Structure 1
């Protein structure tokens, strides 16, 4: 299947939407040395501690891909850095000669913006925010497209016509994904409905298990989880319910009823942005890339997923990539701009039970 090369010129833009290192968290250095004028130093900062799966791991996979691809770059990361401590970490990297700093979570936006103003010669990139500056860009993936494809598979796999989603907090990003999962399912199963359980946090293994068991008791037999822990998927397998993960592959943790996962593939963006900085071609903008840029992907399917389901998902994936299919066609969000979809999605589509709780 063909893929479009990711550059800032061909990526979809939606402007207007969107000392001692490691005092907070843990730092690691890697990459080749050099010291010539073409050598680049890049720093990555993660809010959570690195594990085998999850949001931070997906960014770390991207950093490692960058590091492995270029002999002219040195990279470092700090993990486990809470939002109220991150400013000092950004300042330490900026004052230590780093050329580009990536802040890899929503909560880092304001501290990064403040530090960017203080260090105009350093390039900053912020993930999943809505502010930019002359030397600070922002980037995100249209991960709802991956969830739509997961939903297509779920619509085929469910026998009860009841799906489930275990999710963290009611923000547009998560609401988009619940909606897309449901819409994908209803393209192949118009009777499919989705039960949602909100946990008000990103990492709650016990709560995730309880939520899965509750919706399984209500008949859900295809369950997605937007939590950074694989606990929900493990609980779903114990209930013999197909399950869908997020951010990274969770195949090794989820068990035999693992269907697939929505994958955050940051490597194309990180490599391209580093090349742009090195070549003097970087400019501040807002990138919200979809399947066509490779930032969004889905994992390999589990062994219990039939070939005809895989084939249908691949067909619909190609249609999205080629612009022949939109996730939002026929819904109240049809015709919305990227700016509106990014910031303003706050309600469910038809097929999702209940209503979005107040945040």
Structure 2
């Protein structure tokens, strides 16, 4: 009888232990791979705010690795996280795409989310937001502010994401100021404070009086403030970095998306796919206009903002002309998502060329 009781207790202990081990294996741990530093004040900072929001809302364990180059090194950093038990990997830069795809096939039980790319696998999804909508709105603010009708744009790489943003910004500028132009300077880097600052200074030397950017740090904002002109921020609210220059920022709100995805993973309902939300879903937005904006800017922006949010205004609807004056979008047409995601031409009003590489 004692042996039977002992055996029963032993079996019960084994069952309990097995249940505990099962719940442990089901625990969600989320690892983030960042292209820049969490203190960059821009792109990576915005993602890390999303990570912190995820922790707060779902009480899940997270970890990040920062300043990971867009090379095969990213595979090593992802493997390290996976070896530590992180079973959801979020990689936040376009150049990681092929490496994330490769590892998703190597680790089919791990979920991968890749920012700004276009590839998917059974366990890899991609995500981004229609930041071009926010770009258009900030272009309105810049177009109303410029006195020289010369606006500068510090841009990273000549990929469709960046080109689309430049075009949307320029369309916003010229919707209120048809005489204004937007001159683009390329840096060929996402994150390099020194190079970003030099590019902004070069544009300022040409007489631009508003600087916009597709870069990961506030350095172009600081350059504008130092030279006594104005600036449009990106990724996060950059007002504090250049309060005398800042007009408005186009910003990201990644947190709710992360919560949504991880919740579905926890519930076992997650499916791979591509996400491209807009202002209506609040993944992209603009900040409050600063004291430096013109008096009529807020009402003008609000009207378009509301129409955009309600689906009554679309940025890339015709008539839209290319840089050379030819018609790219007829008056009764709207560009498809496929056309937006492969955009490789500038709209009328942009000064500069798109790099061929």
Give TM-score scaled by structure 2 length: 0.85
Displacement, 1:295?
1.0
* Matching residue of 2:285: 297
1:316 equivalent in alignment to 2:304: yes
Q: Does 2:89 align with 1:101?
A: yes
TM-superposed CA distance for 1:348, in Å, is 0.6
* 1:284 CA displacement: 0.3
Query: Where in structure 2 are the equivalents of 1:1-359 lying within 5 Å?
Result: 39-71=27-59, 73-82=60-69, 83-329=71-317, 330-331=319-320, 332-333=328-329, 334-342=333-341, 344-359=342-357
Deviations 1:172-221 (A, max 9, x none): 11111111111001111111111111122223434333333333333321
Per the TM alignment, residue 99 of structure 1 is displaced from its structure 2 partner at its CA by 2.9
CA deviations 1:223-260 (Å, max 9, x no partner) are 10222221211111122222011111211112311011
Question: Which whole-Å deviations, capped at 9, do the CAs of 1:310-349 have from their partners, x for residues lacking one?
Answer: 221122111111111111122225532212211x211110
Shift of 1:36: 5.8
Instruction: Look up the match of 2:324.
Output: none
Change (3 A) 1:116 1:213: closer
Equivalent pair of 1:100/1:124 in contact (CA under 8 Å) = yes
Higher relative contact order (CA 8 A, sep 6+): 1
Q: CA RMSD in A?
A: 1.8
Gaps in structure 1 of 5+ consecutive residues = 1-34
Q: Secondary structure at the match of 1:153?
A: helix
| C-alpha separation in 2, matches of 1:79 and 1:217 | 34
For the 8 Å contact 1:203–1:228, the answer to whether it is kept is yes
CA offsets per residue over residues 38-93 of structure 1, 9 Å max, x none? Answer: 7421111112232141211111110001011123x111111122232111222233
Match of 1:187, SS state, is helix
Which protein has the bigger helix share? 2
Cα contact 2:36–2:191 (8 A) shared by 1: no
Larger radius of gyration between Structure 1 and Structure 2: 2
Three-state SS of the structure 2 residue aligned to 1:129 is: coil
User: 1 CA distance for matches of 2:355 and 2:103?
Assistant: 34
